[in-house]
């Protein structure tokens, strides 16, 4: 099987490394708008070769879209002439807007997927082969895709050690707004507020483990995450409102010195340990 990967950053590059080790894959081809990324991907061995989009459409059995979600919406229109046997898998962090943009002609070829894996780093140099091992990948609205493309997708994800979950695009966008997108809002907000209030020397000197853990994902790509926030706007606003309510509850308990109630509030929140 011949694989094409559009986007050779953390996700696309790590996917390339994972697939190159699979016996069922004969060739992994790459494409990136950033020519430096293409060259680096070749140097690091993330892909076997670099192709143009037209070459990839003719040669590859499966094409992965590992690019920002707004870029996915644009490029699916250029895939309308794809062969009916070619599987297209998008790896974006939103789903409803992307699915709406897919031309009807290739909807059966198209698999909307979201690997729940990543780090705060970006670019080909951030890629590593174990990124997807034991990670969850969500496949959305699979009944609108051809059975052969779904089976091919499931087989490949299983081979690289991923756990597969099926859900609707609507459900996906709601759940990820709370579990994935909201933490990024909080981290970016915390980083922004600290930078405005504290000098850099104090941040370096006093920033302990808890601060670094909270701030880590604020190092993520603003291009990628602003696109995600744009596409999942309504769900994200609801998630932010939910969080603001909890923050206000905490503020009021501290302000009014309701220490026993504060302790109970923290104890309830601490139950998350039973899940994670």
- List pLDDT tens digits, range 111-130: 999 999 988 999 999 999 99
pLDDT category of residue 23 using cuts at 50, 70 and 90: confident
For range 151-180, the mean pLDDT: 97
Domains of the chain, earliest start first: 2-167 (3.40.50.720), 172-274 (1.10.3660.10)
Residue 68 has pLDDT above 90, yes or no: yes
Going by C-alpha positions, the residue among 218, 62, 222, 210 that lies closest to residue 148 is 62
Q: What is the pLDDT of residue 70?
A: 97
For the whole model, what pTM was predicted? 0.91
Residue 145 has pLDDT above 90, yes or no: yes
Residue 4 has pLDDT above 90, yes or no: yes
Q: What is the pLDDT of residue 8?
A: 98
Q: What is the pLDDT of residue 62?
A: 98
Residue 35 has pLDDT above 90, yes or no: yes
For range 133-152, the mean pLDDT: 96
Q: Is 18 helix (H, G, I), strand (E, B) or coil?
A: helix
Over the stretch 195-244, which tens digit does the pLDDT of each residue have? 888 778 777 777 788 888 899 999 999 999 999 999 999 999 999 999 99
Q: What is the pLDDT of residue 161?
A: 95
Q: What is the pLDDT of residue 19?
A: 94
Class of residue 256 by CB neighbours under 10 A (exposed 0-12, middle 13-18, buried 19+): exposed
Q: What is the pLDDT of residue 44?
A: 97
Q: Which residues of 81-114 are buried (b: 16+ CB within 10 A; e: fewer)?
A: ebeeebbbbbbbbbbbbbbebbeeebbbbbbbbb
Q: What is the pLDDT of residue 208?
A: 81
Q: Quote the tokens at residue 131.
A: 């990124």
Give all strands of the β-sheet with 110-115 in edge-to-edge order. Answer: 49-50, 27-31, 2-6, 62-65, 87-90, 110-115, 136-140, 163-167
In the chain, the percentage of residues whose pLDDT exceeds 90 is 88
Q: Strand 2-6 and strand 27-31: pairing?
A: parallel
Residue 149 has pLDDT above 90, yes or no: yes
């Amino acid at each position: 099987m011949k694989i094409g990967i559009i986007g050779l950053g953390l996700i696309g590059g790590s996917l390339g490394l994972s697939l190159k080790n699979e016996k069922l894959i004969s060739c992994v081809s790459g494409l990136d708008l950033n020519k430096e990324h293409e060259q680096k991907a070749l140097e690091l061995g993330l892909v076997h070769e670099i192709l143009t989009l037209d070459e990839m459409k003719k040669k590859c059995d499966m094409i992965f879209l590992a690019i920002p979600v707004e870029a996915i919406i644009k490029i699916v229109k250029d895939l309308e002439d794809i062969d009916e046997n070619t599987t297209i898998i998008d790896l974006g962090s939103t789903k409803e807007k992307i699915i709406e943009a897919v031309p009807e002609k290739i909807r059966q070829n198209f698999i909307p997927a979201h690997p729940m894996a990543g780090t705060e780093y970006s670019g080909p140099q951030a890629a590593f082969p174990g990124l997807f091992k034991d990670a969850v990948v969500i496949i959305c609205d699979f009944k609108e895709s051809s059975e052969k493309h779904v089976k091919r997708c499931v087989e490949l994800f299983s081979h690289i050690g991923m756990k597969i979950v099926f859900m609707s695009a609507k459900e996906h966008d709601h759940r990820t707004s709370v579990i994935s997108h909201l933490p990024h809002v909080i981290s970016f907000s915390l980083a922004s507020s600290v930078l405005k209030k504290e000098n850099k020397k104090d941040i370096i000197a006093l920033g302990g483990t808890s601060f670094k853990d909270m701030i880590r994902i604020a190092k993520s790509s603003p291009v990628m995450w602003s696109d995600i926030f744009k596409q999942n706007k309504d769900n994200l606003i609801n998630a932010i409102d939910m969080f603001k309510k909890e923050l206000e509850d905490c503020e009021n308990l501290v302000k009014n010195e309701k220490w026993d109630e504060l302790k109970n509030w923290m104890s309830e929140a601490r139950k998350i340990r039973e899940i994670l």
